[in-house]
Amino acid sequence: MALIAVGLDHERAPLDLLERASIPEHEWPKVLRTLVAHRNVHEAVLVSTCLRTEVVARIDFFHGALEDIARTLAEASGVTVEELEPVIRIAFDRGVARHLFSVAGGLRSVVPGEFEVLGQLRRALEVALDEQTAGEEMSDLFHRAIASGRRVRAETSIARGTTSFASAAVTLAEELLGSDLAGAQVTVLGAGQLAEGVARTLLDPGRAISSLRLTNRTPTRATTLAAALDDDRVRVVDWVDRAATSRASRLVVVAVEAPDPVLGVEDLASSSDVLVVDLGMPRAVEPAVGDLSGVRRIDIDDLRARVANALDERRDALEAARTIVEGDVEHYLAERRSRGAAGIVRDLRAHLDDVIAAELERRASELATLEPDARDVAISLVRSTVAKIAHRPTVALKEAAGSDQGVRLADATRALFGL
């Protein structure tokens, strides 16, 4: 079997398509079950974040699995296969490890080195394990990628300064507001990982905001987050009051996952001077809000453009990170080759031993008529002959392990010997 990764990300797909292709977490189990119901797909992990929707899977045949996965993503998100085809990213076999390790290392993030992606990959694997759509090999791949991502951040300066998507959003807002942020009231809509990152960044003593209003559709999550923040400036407000609270704020950060906008033109029409940062995917604030005279709206596209302009300052760190990732990938692939060869060779030898044992048992009455020495010679002759026949296939499997030819030889060996 081989590995494949199929999906969309911000490097190739436009924001509006990413927005429509995102799949909320409560639908992941259904999508995973649909994926492994296909004959070509044996294991699957779904990674769906604000700027990435992709499937990593163990498969039999490339083209059949690609069609199955693309069709499943299209059906789950409501986009068409024709829309996906021009911008879809595909990695196959060894390329899957390179892709996933690069994602974990923050090399394919809007903010290079951002930390949120590690938690997102971990959560994607957890859901797949809970749904029993991921096995030992897939789990090992994700754990090794996450470990490599941690190493990148520990051994390079890729995460220097702006270290997360949340902090990048706050930094951009701070640049736009200048001194207005000090002493201002801020509202954060949401209580998930991204919202928590935004809140903690805003509450840093260096920013000196006067108050932070926290609201979420599930009140208990907002209350739990407020307790974790442990700051007198934080106050939880009812979700139904989000519009009024937003109008009274200088900065509003929306970090929620919702099928429809949670703030619209009517909600903010009477605002006098507010900056709204929409981090939702799909977008959680109506784009037309930005046309209001008292409102400035920015979203992920603005953040992406600002980060791209700053990349030149971190090229050395990016190169160092790429070197670490490449080394970790090669180490993983070498171990995978070794495990793959050992497994198929072990299965082949066990099968041949079983054949010998069964045949000797079947002919036991005939062997019993031989003198002990002659019987031992006959048994030894059978074993040595089978070992010689198995020698060349064993060597070929070991030499080709981890390559496309190795996959074909392993599949052929399994088919020929019924392994």
Residues involved in catalysis: 50
How far lies 377's CA from each of 351, 382, 384, 387, in Å?
A: 22, 9, 10, 15
Q: Does an H or E element contain 382, and which?
A: helix 372-400
Q: How far apart are CA 320 and CA 43, in angstroms?
A: 33
Please name the residues in contact with 346: beta carbons below 8 A apart, sequence gap of 6 or more.
Answer: none
| Closest alpha carbon to 54 in 121, 127, 115 | 121
3-class secondary-structure state, position 69: helix
The 10 Å Cβ neighbour count of residue 371 is: 8
Burial of residue 352 (number of CB atoms within 10 Å: 0-12, 13-18, 19+): middle
Burial of residue 398 (number of CB atoms within 10 Å: 0-12, 13-18, 19+): middle
| Closest alpha carbon to 8 in 82, 87, 61, 71 | 87
Contact 274, 11 (CB under 8 A): no
Record the tokens describing residue 152, joined without a space. Answer: 């990148």
Contact 101, 147 (CB under 8 A): no
| Closest alpha carbon to 127 in 30, 217, 230 | 30
Record the tokens describing residue 311, joined without a space. Answer: 């990349």
| DSSP secondary structure letters along 150-200 | HHHHHHSSTTSS--SHHHHHHHHHHHHHGGGGTT-EEEEE--SHHHHHHHH
